[in-house]
Structure 1
Amino acid sequence: MKFGVLVSATVLAARLAHAVPTSIADAIMSRASRDGIDLSVLDTMPDILAAITDTYNERGVQYPQDDRKKAARVGSRGVGNIFDIHAHAEPDWYRKVAPFTGGNADRNDGGGTPSPAWNVSSHLDFMQTIGISHSILGFTSPSANAFLGDKERTVALARLINEQLAAYARTYPDSFNFFAAMPLPYTDEAITELKYAVQELGAVGVALMSNHEGHYLGYDSFTPFWQAMDGLGGRQVVYVHPTTPWLNVNETWIPANPYSDIDESRMEFYMETARTFIDLTLTQTIHNFTNTHFVLPHIGGAFPTMIDRVLKTVHTELYESSLEIYRTRFWWDSASPTYFHQINGLLAYDIPKANLLYGTDYPFISAAVTAADFDSIMAYPGLSDEEKEDLLSNNYKTLFGDKLHFQ
């Protein structure tokens, strides 16, 4: 047994020697080892490290040795002044891990939308076309939760996702920053990753899934994570992205989609946003951790339609205090066809228009749909021209404050 382990380690070292320069590989692996993370549990680790290295080498950027990334420079590319808070990186190595949005990598199910091809060059071209000056990148569902029930691979994947995102942000600081992936439901490990991603890699916030292995975000075992986030000091930003609703039945993971003719990303994702924000409300997580601000995708999905239904019936004591939080510490991105009719339901709750943000969901929404969505915002009669400009180009500054440097 010991001989077999030694052989495997030798083979792995040989593969790494041919795959990536040891300076970057060693730096990433050393920091992971310091934090108790074994990256080698991922069979694709050499390929991932090679991709991260290629990202740095493409523009001759060195892997930094300092412990903190400077604030991103926003607005200097001269292609426009639109800020995209909902954009996804989808490198080739990740599409091999998770070929379907929301999917379970070990079974290739749970999602319905094939992950699209993506690269930095095409993303920058897209930004140029729309007039976007800066995008916050994150990995879409399943993010680090591609290996359901596998703690070691979840933790390792979260670390490498964040190293890859940091590489994009460091290599293209005028164009990108990132929301870090978290390896929940493994709370202790998520706290470690939170501190590393924010304090060392320079993440401007974290991207959580609507559920992590079936546990919604108000789950009591997640309380130490919320305490750690709130304890970082200053305003913390949590972007919540919907994912497949998972049920663990006799150690079998089942996607809880009652209407299989429509894949999860088209309908259940909206329901997932409602489920997790109702959960965060009823557990009073949003009440108890006041440094944390939340970005809701798709202007909240189905969540706004559930507020009165839940809080005006059995939880009336939380109604007014929750609405105050929704109006102050909640931010609402526009991604998807949300400004044709859906926006009216949200604004009926007196949500400040200063808390509306622009998002594209690139590359998961086609260019034609993105253009139509943009036109619907510009045509929406409920916003003045100044409010539309603020939605596209100014409101995010209030959200991020000194996390970003505005030019």
Structure 2
Amino acid sequence: MTTNERIDVHTHLVPPFWGDALPEHGGDPSGWKTPDWSPEAHLNFMDTNGIATSVLSLTAPSVVGWDGRERREMARRVNEYTAGLVSERPDRFGNFATVPLPDVEGAVAEIDYALDELHADGIVLLTNYEGVYLGDDRYTPVWERLNSHRAVVFIHPGHPLLPTLSGVPGPIVDYPFDTTRNAVHMVYNGITTRFPDARIILSHAGGFVPYAALRFVLARAAFDPDGPTSDELLAQLRSFYFDTALSSGAFAFASLTEFADSSRILFGSDFPYAPPALGTHFTELLDSKSGLTAEQSTAINRTNAIPLFPRLS
């Protein structure tokens, strides 16, 4: 793309106060280095890659390493900092607000504050918090509140409770695994049927959900014949939205576009955790090596996101 048209739903910020404090609050268990970041560097990356608007989110490990009230305070501080960036450049930045899970009461309160007072564009959740996945009943109040707001919910992988492989940082292979694990858990536990007004985006093309979807739905129906049918389960897996971050190219898109309706695929870059050269390479693959028609390309890059973020129209 030669003009700024893309809407990037998978892209992160690193508030300086959060990045400075993270090492003292558990660090990042995935083994990935916290990148240097600034609003100016982000805008430069956007301009290079034809991105009109980046919907910013705090990535894993979020604010899990803080305890008690400090966790709520850090989530609020991150959200107000991001809202300030949006107020300065509403055309260029959006805000997926952070919640202080696994503190359910605090998360429900922050959802209301972020969406009602800060006018955030949506909420970011991790796939798991201290090993508890989003289909767990303890998070029902969170889903009830998200559903009542008709919120856009961006789910980013967290580090699963298992050691990283030597020489293989978690984001390379563990993150797609955890996205898949959580998505199947949510569908099996009825989150997508009980809370249908929450619009849910899965990171990185859904991990390997598209590739292994039939395994997930046929096997579940076989061992639970009195439960949902395989067709019903497949429809719920297909009800998610899927971003393209680090997932474009012929290999991934052959599966993704066969599985997902093309209207539910959204552009993502994963900047700055994906270094600029890497993010740009995947954007080039999306444009030239993913087998998309011109109509599909326009939809994925921009128009599919407009119903979720109508202020960007």
Which residue number in structure 2 is paired with residue 140 of structure 1? 59
Unaligned residue ranges in structure 2 (runs of 5+) = 223-227
Which residue number in structure 1 is paired with residue 219 of structure 2? 313
Which residue number in structure 2 is paired with residue 230 of structure 1? 147
| 1:110–1:375 Cα change, 3 Å | same
CA distance in 2, matches of 1:318, 1:224: 27
User: What amino acid is aligned across from residue 333 of structure 1 in structure 2?
Assistant: D
CA distance in 1, matches of 2:96, 2:306: 16
Native 8 Å contact 1:208 1:238 kept in 2 = yes
Is the counterpart of residue 270 in structure 1 residue 180 in structure 2?
no
Native 8 Å contact 1:274 1:304 kept in 2 = no
Within 5 A, what are the aligned runs for 1:321-336?
A: 321-327=232-238, 329-336=239-246
Native 8 Å contact 2:26 2:65 kept in 1 = no
Which residue number in structure 1 is paired with residue 45 of structure 2? 126
Aligned length: 307
User: What amino acid is aligned across from residue 239 of structure 1 in structure 2?
Assistant: F
User: What amino acid is aligned across from residue 231 of structure 2 in structure 1?
Assistant: E
| 1:343–1:85 Cα change, 3 Å | same
Following TM superposition, by how much is the alpha carbon of 1:367 offset from its aligned partner in structure 2, in angstroms?
A: 2.1
Native 8 Å contact 1:144 1:161 kept in 2 = no
Deviation per CA, 1:244-292: give whole Å up to 9, x if none. 113xxxxxxxxx1252321111111111101111110111111110101
Is the counterpart of residue 164 in structure 1 residue 95 in structure 2?
no
User: What amino acid is aligned across from residue 245 of structure 2 in structure 1?
Assistant: A
Which residue number in structure 1 is paired with residue 103 of structure 2? 186
Which residue number in structure 2 is paired with residue 209 of structure 1? 126
Native 8 Å contact 1:274 1:302 kept in 2 = yes
Native 8 Å contact 1:135 1:177 kept in 2 = yes
User: What amino acid is aligned across from residue 241 of structure 1 in structure 2?
Assistant: H
Is the counterpart of residue 286 in structure 1 residue 192 in structure 2?
yes
User: What amino acid is aligned across from residue 137 of structure 1 in structure 2?
Assistant: L
Q: Secondary structure at the match of 2:168?
A: coil
Following TM superposition, by how much is the alpha carbon of 1:323 offset from its aligned partner in structure 2, in angstroms?
A: 2.4
Which residue number in structure 2 is paired with residue 92 of structure 1? 16
Q: Secondary structure at the match of 2:172?
A: coil
Following TM superposition, by how much is the alpha carbon of 1:79 offset from its aligned partner in structure 2, in angstroms?
A: 5.1
Which residue number in structure 2 is paired with residue 389 of structure 1? 298
Q: Which region of structure 1 is more displaced relative to structure 2, 126-135 or 315-324?
A: 315-324
CA distance in 1, matches of 2:221, 2:167: 34
CA distance in 1, matches of 2:166, 2:70: 29
CA distance in 2, matches of 1:98, 1:340: 37
Q: Secondary structure at the match of 2:78?
A: helix
Following TM superposition, by how much is the alpha carbon of 1:393 offset from its aligned partner in structure 2, in angstroms?
A: 2.0
CA distance in 2, matches of 1:394, 1:83: 8
Q: Which runs of 4+ in 1 moved over 3 A?
A: 105-109
Q: CA RMSD in A?
A: 1.8
Following TM superposition, by how much is the alpha carbon of 1:237 offset from its aligned partner in structure 2, in angstroms?
A: 0.7
What TM-score does the superposition give when structure 2 sets the normalisation length?
0.92
Which residue number in structure 1 is paired with residue 116 of structure 2? 199
User: What amino acid is aligned across from residue 324 of structure 1 in structure 2?
Assistant: A
Native 8 Å contact 2:187 2:237 kept in 1 = no
Q: Secondary structure at the match of 2:305?
A: helix
Native 8 Å contact 1:216 1:276 kept in 2 = yes
Q: Which region of structure 1 is more displaced relative to structure 2, 391-400 or 196-205?
A: 391-400
Q: Secondary structure at the match of 2:171?
A: coil
Native 8 Å contact 1:92 1:117 kept in 2 = no
Native 8 Å contact 2:83 2:95 kept in 1 = yes
Aligned partner (choices 376, 389, 395) of residue 285 of structure 2: 376
Native 8 Å contact 2:248 2:290 kept in 1 = no
| 1:85–1:315 Cα change, 3 Å | same
Aligned partner (choices 21, 32, 43) of residue 113 of structure 1: 32
Larger relative contact order, structure 1 or 2 (CA cutoff 8 Å, min sep 6)? 2
Following TM superposition, by how much is the alpha carbon of 1:98 offset from its aligned partner in structure 2, in angstroms?
A: 2.3
Which residue number in structure 2 is paired with residue 298 of structure 1? 204
Q: Secondary structure at the match of 1:240?
A: strand
Which residue number in structure 1 is paired with residue 159 of structure 2? 244
Q: Secondary structure at the match of 2:36?
A: coil
CA distance in 2, matches of 1:152, 1:343: 43
User: What amino acid is aligned across from residue 307 of structure 1 in structure 2?
Assistant: A
Following TM superposition, by how much is the alpha carbon of 1:405 offset from its aligned partner in structure 2, in angstroms?
A: 4.2
Q: Secondary structure at the match of 1:179?
A: strand
User: What amino acid is aligned across from residue 252 of structure 2 in structure 1?
Assistant: Q
CA distance in 1, matches of 2:229, 2:110: 32
What TM-score does the superposition give when structure 1 sets the normalisation length?
0.72
Which residue number in structure 1 is paired with residue 308 of structure 2? 399
Following TM superposition, by how much is the alpha carbon of 1:153 offset from its aligned partner in structure 2, in angstroms?
A: 2.2
Native 8 Å contact 1:257 1:268 kept in 2 = no
